[in-house]
Amino acid sequence: MSHDQHDTPYLDAVLAYRRRGFTPFHTPGHKLGKGAPAKLREMLGETCLQVDLAMAGAVEDTRESTGLIRLAEEYAAEAWGAERCHFLVNGSTSGVHAMALTLAGPGETLIVPRNAHKSLLAALIYSGATPVYVEPQVDPVWGIPLNVSVAQATRAMRAHPEAKALIVTSPTYNGLAADLRALADVAHAAGVPFIVDQAWGPHLRFCPDLPVDAMTAGADACVVSTHKLISGITQSAVLLARGERLNLSRLESMVKMTQSTSPQVLMYASIDAARQQMATRGAELWREATLNAEWARERIRQIPGLRCLGREVLEAEGVAQFDPTRLTVSALDLGHSGTELETILRDDYAVAVEAADPLAIILNVTFGDSRNDLRVLVDALRDYAARYADTSGRREAAARWLRLRPPAFTRQVLTPREAFFAPSVPLPLAACVGRVSAEIVTPYPPGIPVLGPGEEVGDETVAYLTEAAAVHLKVHGPEDLSLRTLRVVA
């Protein structure tokens, strides 16, 4: 059945609940704001508190109801081209967990990209599956991971006919998209599902000017963060799937296992609204955003000392398409790391970026930005570059940032789960070479692990982590965040 994508069944039910004015004997304890402390009321406003519900209350008839939520999910499945959609309240992270638990367990293999988000490594610890990594190349100029190429995926599938699925991340944080159609063919020729972490692609389906989306390209499932680039509120996401090669009932059970039992009504309603907005106006909204982003890219590229990633990246291995609405800007030629540039933009120009790492900053451009917002950005960057045109004394620092390249994968000695739960000891970093890591180490951003549990710690990894500690890189995962020691399997 085809739905009218202008409708918002879930959002409407929430609004109706508020209009009716119930006397609430349900969660949360602030009782629709009446008992909330004044400052919280000031921050959230009456409206937000009046619809701050778990899905129980009077919006749904029972806690386990599948009626209204299922209906809203059907609208979303249709909009994103899937057979089944699940609304998620713990981001794409929880969708990645549900997918991994559906695909493979202990003793089974998954082909996964080395540039996977840390949620996938956590999922492997939960599930007990063994990863076979495909290592996308790292761009020599930008130091960013590229995409899994068709040749790499083909080689991995041939070498591991026992693999239960092929998983890739696309688009990447920097907007680089893999050749999803060809990768789907590779997986399907081997008779296994093709799974895409499309956290950064909630918009792709709705605008032909953007890279092809995973479901159109033939993926069997993908996760999409509706909070990242469209109007879902923070933490909202959807999991999309089709059932030809995936057990949809098992997937549903795994979604229930990985979600809160009190999903936020606000989050669900925002997914409903974001889906409606995209399905009915996505193409025009993103066309405008693309023009604005290209306008800014062109001008940033003309600023002496600044670089902005563009379509030239399509020449790199594995990169099939590029999302022009993601702006990756480097100030290394001015002797500043991305982190330093972020601080200057924030403190001196009140410009807030999406992410900053040693090499660059990332800026998201969406339909929420006007041409004037982009003018503010370009003017700030122009002024900044003029102020810091004299680079004396900063060149050496920039060279050091550039040396910080993610180490190559060594070998998987134990599964992530075996290593994670094995007896382990903290050792000084230098003494860890040749040992098996018991921890995940993830520089953040971009949230891509450089070392996972069960991996042999190589010279390159120790050199990288030593340098990372020296430049105070932010990491998630290890017990000792100063990176003086690392926990290895005893």
Ligand X SMILES: Cc1ncc(COP(=O)(O)O)c(C=O)c1O
Helix and strand tally (H, E) in the chain?
Answer: 16, 17
- The tokens for 470 are 């020296």
* Contact yes or no for 344/384 (Cβ under 8 A): yes
- The tokens for 368 are 């929420």
* Contact yes or no for 86/95 (Cβ under 8 A): yes
The nearer residue to ligand X, 272 or 418, going by C-beta atoms, is: 272
Minimum CB distance to ligand X, residue 143 (Å): 17
The nearer residue to ligand X, 200 or 268, going by C-beta atoms, is: 200
The percent helix, strand, coil of the chain (3-state, each to 5) is 40, 15, 40
The nearer residue to ligand X, 91 or 452, going by C-beta atoms, is: 91
Cβ contacts of 249 within 8 Å, gap of 6 or more? none
Is residue 2 classed exposed, middle or buried when 0-12, 13-18 and 19+ CB atoms within 10 A define those classes? exposed
Minimum CB distance to ligand X, residue 415 (Å): 21
- The tokens for 246 are 């995936």
The nearer residue to ligand X, 86 or 435, going by C-beta atoms, is: 86
- Please state, in angstroms and rounded to a whole number, the distance separating the CA atoms of residues 145 and 137: 6
The nearer residue to ligand X, 79 or 355, going by C-beta atoms, is: 355
* Contact yes or no for 401/391 (Cβ under 8 A): no
What is the biggest distance separating any 2 CA atoms in the chain, rounded to whole angstroms?
Answer: 67
Using CB positions, name the residue nearest to ligand X: 91
The nearer residue to ligand X, 173 or 384, going by C-beta atoms, is: 173
Q: Is 338 helix (H, G, I), strand (E, B) or coil?
A: helix
Cα 322 to chain centroid distance, Å, stands at 16
Minimum CB distance to ligand X, residue 280 (Å): 24
- The tokens for 489 are 């399997």
Minimum CB distance to ligand X, residue 91 (Å): 2
* CA-to-CA separations, 274 to 123, 202, 229, 282, 288, in angstroms, rounded: 27, 10, 10, 10, 17
- Please state, in angstroms and rounded to a whole number, the distance separating the CA atoms of residues 433 and 451: 12
Minimum CB distance to ligand X, residue 16 (Å): 29
Minimum CB distance to ligand X, residue 222 (Å): 10
Minimum CB distance to ligand X, residue 190 (Å): 24
The nearer residue to ligand X, 175 or 453, going by C-beta atoms, is: 175
Minimum CB distance to ligand X, residue 386 (Å): 33
The nearer residue to ligand X, 92 or 231, going by C-beta atoms, is: 92
The nearer residue to ligand X, 229 or 414, going by C-beta atoms, is: 229
* CA-to-CA separations, 452 to 104, 115, 465, in angstroms, rounded: 18, 12, 13
Minimum CB distance to ligand X, residue 446 (Å): 7
Q: Is 78 helix (H, G, I), strand (E, B) or coil?
A: helix
Tell me which residues touch ligand X (CB under 6 A).
91-93, 96, 117, 119, 169, 173, 197, 199-200, 225, 237, 447
* H or E element in which residue 304 lies: none
